[in-house]
A and B are shown apart, each in its own frame.
Chain A
Amino acid sequence: MDKTHLILTFAHRGEAQSFLKELPFKSIAQDHYQWDDGAIIRSLIITGEGLENTTLKLAKTLGDQSANHLINLGICGHIPRAGEEFSIGQVIQVRTAMKAESTNDLVFKSYTTSSDTKLKLPQADLISTVNRVLDKKNHAKFSPFASLVDREAWAIGLVADHYQTPFSVIKVISDFADGEFCQMVKDDALIWSDSLLREYLKWEALLLDQEKESDESFTQDFPELYLTVSQERTLSNLLKALRLKGREVSSLKEETNYNEICAQKIHPKKKSKIFLESLKDILNPLEKELRDRLSQQTKLLSQAGFQVRFDQGFEKEVLHLNISLENEEEYKRAIRALEQYDFKKFQKTIRGDLLV
């Protein structure tokens, strides 16, 4: 996936009208539009109302083409609750999307959006309901959990989770979830779609800034190395961990004798391997100390032909030895090595007698 791909989902065309009017989206299939500006592909999907429609449409789209981020935009109902009272037309960023099968049946699984405080929108939690909430009688059941209701956002979370894609939800409040909304939605649809577009553009700018930052490769500081894909991933992980420990690239180059490794006349992949091993030793000094000690202690056994293994995590004072003997000479050498082996020393090491 070279270009950044963003998927915008709306339940109804009315919610998307400003996007389709103001931005150069082109229809590529029914209810599916795309705008490719060379660097970013934006897919706009009209899913239809409800959790099932949203799940089906979005899962199909993501199955066809993966995305960097999903965003659901649209209207939602508001159940005012203590400390969270919004007004009609206000734009809200959703924090967590929950699902209610009915007023008495909230689903445990919730999905947390990648809400961004830099967007400076109020944040709130939302419940996606199977049926429309049209009666104030239901409010008391929902209000301890969330102050927004819709019929799609949870499904976006479900699909996003399945495809391990981050998602966001931005909603404009259209009604108070009491049944009095249809005419208002019609009248104000364009204004609300404009509000959503305005916030979407801010959201997109922030997202792309963040992606640019995270795209800065950890590995660019080591142009002399030839790295396989797997080695590149290992290097990236090691450098990330070392940075968490406050280590700078310049000092790591010095500590690992980076220039000397690069100057060696060996296979490029081998150079990278040596360098990665050195980084691992810097990241895990205790493990290196333990490994060196045990390797020193079992040198005789290895020389006699034993394969030596230890308990995983060294929790048990167990030494696993494996050997194939083909003649009496090998047998005698193995016995001699075993007789000379200092098991107590091994036990002391496992019990924490480290030199570090």
Chain B
Amino acid sequence: MFSRILIENEVKDLPTTQKILKRFPSLPYQFIDRIDDVFGRVKKPYLQKRQNLQLFLGKKRGQLVKEAPDAYGLAGEPHYYFIHAYNCIYECEYCYLQGYFHSPDIVLFLNHDEIAIEIQNTLSRHEGTVWFHAGEFSDSLALTHLTGELPFYFDLFRKFPHAKLELRTKSANTRELLKQTPCPNIVTSFSLSPQERIKKTDLKTPSLKHRLLAMRELQEAGFPLGIHLDPIIHEDNFEESYQSLFAEMDHYLDLTSLEYISMGVVRFTSNVFHQVKKNYPDSELLAAEFSSSFDGKVRYPRPFRQWILGKIRDIALGYDVSPEKVYLCME
């Protein structure tokens, strides 16, 4: 998976670092002063992740917890995300990380204790429920068997029941999660799409069936779950595709006990769309009916978005999902 590991001197003796090095005994590694000295210093093409993906281990400096953009999660409650990693092992053709860091290399920040302090500081500024999302710049579960931070965050959020943690993922790597005792304020949310869509655009991600099997296991063990139907990509038969998707979801899961289902239609910044053209010139995304939108993003025109979302929302409600649990993401 990785071509080499670059380790900040400051974290070289941490147990997680040692664990990762043991996990990849034959992988070359090198010590560096600061991740920032190397990562993103020189533009590295996104698709080099296929041949030359480096792993960085270090400390996150600067702002560790950031306010999430509007319409990020359930409305009416403040949303923040914290940063414990950059980049992802998967390769979704629409992924905004293509145009974000100027490097596809994976960075794992190991100073979770400092992130925890910042989460507590943020909490102290609010009275009601506050959401914290992990996985804004990475997948929350895909590498947890390496990174081992889940027990730490479970312990932290158990102490603050009014704080909610969302772990966002496309993986089926729930082994480490299942070792934890479920916590009502920690929601694991899975991004799902119809299997045909996953096959076409969500390269290297687990199949729909594998994700649903992992979700069922978690649901049976009592873990609160959410679903992101995001990004929704229009195709001629999208209604049937989403009917089938809901039928499969219903087969594996109790949809009425989900915490929420969010829906979002595919969208790109112009920079990311440019990267998609460059990286995936044969992607059918490039033949879609997009236009430049009110916020400068490339997306379907509003009537199409509303129509698509309306159709899928109707399908969800047909499965007795309560309307207040369905929200539109970034609309």
Interface residue ranges, A against B (CB under 8 Å): 81-83, 95-96, 98, 106-110, 112, 123, 125, 143-145, 241-242, 244-246, 283-287, 290, 312-316, 349-354, 356
Contact = CB atoms under 8 A, between A and B. Distances in A.
Contacts of A82: 4, 28-30
Contacts of B292: 312-313
Interface of B: 3-4, 6, 27-30, 32, 37-38, 41-45, 48, 51-52, 102, 234, 236, 282-284, 286-287, 289, 291-294, 300-310
Nearest to B304: A286
B31 to A, nearest CB: 9
Contacts of B284: 244-246
A106 B41 contact: yes
Given A82-B4, A290-B304, 11 more contacts: A81-B30, A82-B30, A83-B27, A106-B42, A110-B42, A245-B287, A313-B292, A352-B306, A352-B307, A353-B307, A356-B307
Contacts of A312: 291-292
Contacts of B28: 81-83
A349 B303 contact: yes
B48 A95 contact: yes
A169 to B, nearest CB: 14
Contact of A241 (B32, B287, B307): B287
Contacts of A98: 42
Contact of A315 (B6, B44, B287, B302): B302
A285 B289 CA distance: 9
Contact of B309 (A123, A287, A350, A352): A352
B41 A352 contact: no
30 contacts: A82-B28, A82-B29, A83-B27, A95-B45, A95-B48, A96-B44, A96-B48, A108-B102, A144-B30, A144-B32, A144-B37, A145-B38, A145-B41, A244-B282, A245-B287, A283-B287, A286-B234, A286-B300, A286-B304, A286-B307, A290-B301, A314-B301, A314-B303, A315-B302, A351-B306, A352-B303, A352-B304, A352-B305, A352-B309, A354-B307
Contacts of B282: 244
A82 B291 CA distance: 46
B283 A286 contact: no
Closest 10 CB pairs of A and B: A82-B28, A352-B306, A352-B307, A241-B287, A83-B28, A244-B287, A315-B294, A144-B38, A110-B43, A313-B291
Nearest to B305: A352
B30 A108 contact: no
Given A110-B42, A352-B303, A287 B310 contact: no
B302 A314 contact: yes
Nearest to A356: B307
A83 B29 CA distance: 8
A351 B305 CA distance: 9
Given A313-B302, A314-B303, A354-B304, A112 B45 contact: yes
Nearest to B300: A286
Contacts of A353: 307
Nearest to B45: A112
A98 B45 CA distance: 12
Nearest to B286: A244
Contacts of B41: 106, 108, 145
A286 B300 CA distance: 10
Contacts of A83: 3-4, 27-28
A316 B294 CA distance: 9
Contact of B52 (A95, A246, A287, A290): A95
Contact of B283 (A106, A109, A244): A244
Nearest to B306: A352
A321 B302 CA distance: 21
A123 B45 CA distance: 14
Contacts of B51: 95, 123
B17 to A, nearest CB: 16
